[in-house]
Amino acid sequence: MSRIETIAAMADSAGLGDPGFAVYVHWPFCLAKCPYCDFNSHVRATPPDEARFVAAFSREIAHRAALTPGRKVRSVFFGGGTPSLMAPRTVGAILDKIAKHWTMEANAEITLEANPTSVEAGRFRGYQGAGVNRVSIGVQALNDADLRALGRKHSVAEAIAALETAKSIFPRMSFDLIYGRVGQSEPQWRAELERAIKLATEHVSLYQLTIEPDTIFERLWQAGKLALPDEDLGRALFDTTQEIAEKHGLPAYETSNHARPGAESRHNLVYWRYGDYVGVGPGAHGRVLTGGKRRAQATEKHPEMWLGQVEIEGHGLIVDDPLSQEEQSDEYLLMGLRLREGIDIHRYEAVSGRRLARSQIESLAADGFVTEQGGRIMVTPMGAPLLDTIVADLAA
């Protein structure tokens, strides 16, 4: 890095050590589009040409490494879409290119998202051989009727079998569940989560169902054909989630992510601690320090258009904008306050160039929404559902 970049990186990391550098790889293809999903995922009648995509990933990785030289990769995350539709050799080839252009930390975390169908679970050993050391499995529900309603292609039995297979192959594993589903009561969720969390080894992600723009669920909701829990039930479901996860030794380290101490996702922590991350592949986003400025980056979303652009220009970037100090400070607040550890006040001042209003902190603390200790501000369990409001108050 240049001297300017080095100084900026030190300021950006003040009070917490280096948040790390990560690479996100987006594989945009799925067998079907889930009705709740707003991710950049696409269904194709015939499988994509993986060799052609590997070549494009290789070019984009080389381009992005030239913009961020000398960085050490703390984590790589294959997301989607459905990355477990990739052949293990494709995953291995992409990892080889990342290792060629950056230095990998000795204990780098390599995560791959997987769907728990029997065919994909059978590939787990191949992914482990390719370099993956952590999988995140999209279980989503332990109820076959709800799995069908969510558009999932697996059964509960397949999900449990995939979890057991993953445990036998990978040193680290996580899985996702969605709660607040249509017609789900608090006692039903309590029983399901108690059953599910006994299957967890070190990490689980528990998301409350929300209506996302441009999804099938949004259209059903607007037509009055989909009813989600009201505010009181939503809060009860959230509180039950925290209670049960904590009881089983998996406290929330982030709003929706729970882990045994020391088993937190390193990739998640790079994001939420506002470290640098490069996003490659169709529709991938990134935040990187380059040219002395922190920049917001995004690539072309359409897979075939991204492929064509990379083959012509050597990269798929369509957004590469410098972030103002105000934008950076807002992002740091929004992401950092999702973490149980909260934000470092000195780092906020280094990022934003201004001080947080003492009166705002004291007012939110008096209301029981935040707490302050050791130079850090943390959102309390009571304040967690009001995160957006708390961020707006602190940023004002």
- Grouping H, G, I as helix, E, B as strand and the rest as coil, residue 360 is helix
Query: What is the reported pLDDT for 118?
Result: 67
Candidates 391, 344, 357, 394; CA nearest to 13 is 344
Query: What is the reported pLDDT for 195?
Result: 97
Helix, strand, coil shares of the chain as percentages rounded to 5? 45, 25, 35
Query: What is the reported pLDDT for 38?
Result: 92
Give the C-alpha separation, 243 to 252, whole Å. Answer: 10
Q: What is the mean pLDDT of residues 27-36?
A: 94
Q: What is the H or E stretch that residue 295 is in?
A: strand 293-299
Which of 62-76, 273-287, 375-389 has the lowest average pLDDT? 375-389
Give the C-alpha separation, 102 to 20, whole Å. Answer: 13
Give the C-alpha separation, 32 to 14, whole Å. Answer: 44
The dotted CATH code for 3-272 is: 3.20.20.70
**Residue 108 predicted with pLDDT over 80:** yes
| Positions of CATH 3.20.20.70 in the chain | 3-272
Chain segment 195-233, per-residue pLDDT in tens: 999 999 999 999 999 999 999 999 999 999 998 899 999
**Residue 15 predicted with pLDDT over 60:** no
**Residue 142 predicted with pLDDT over 90:** yes
Candidates 136, 155, 163; CA nearest to 77 is 136
Cβ atoms of 310 and 59 within 8 Å: the answer is yes
Give the C-alpha separation, 238 to 186, whole Å. Answer: 9
Query: What is the reported pLDDT for 151?
Result: 94
Average pLDDT, the chain: 92
Give the count of beta carbons closer than 10 Å to the beta carbon of residue 32.
12
What angle separates helix 358-366 from helix 387-395, to the nearest 10 degrees? Answer: 150
In the block, tokens 């449990």 appear at 160
Q: What is the mean pLDDT of residues 331-336?
A: 94
Query: What is the reported pLDDT for 117?
Result: 85
Which of 87-101, 168-182, 312-326, 374-388 has the lowest average pLDDT? 374-388
Q: What is the mean pLDDT of residues 244-269?
A: 96
Query: What is the reported pLDDT for 11?
Result: 33
Work out the percent of the chain whose per-residue pLDDT is above 70. Answer: 95
Give the C-alpha separation, 228 to 66, whole Å. Answer: 47
**Residue 369 predicted with pLDDT over 50:** yes
**Residue 21 predicted with pLDDT over 90:** yes
Phi-psi map region of 59: left, alpha, beta (phi>0 left; psi -120 to 50 alpha): alpha
Query: Which is higher by pLDDT, 177 or 352?
Result: 177
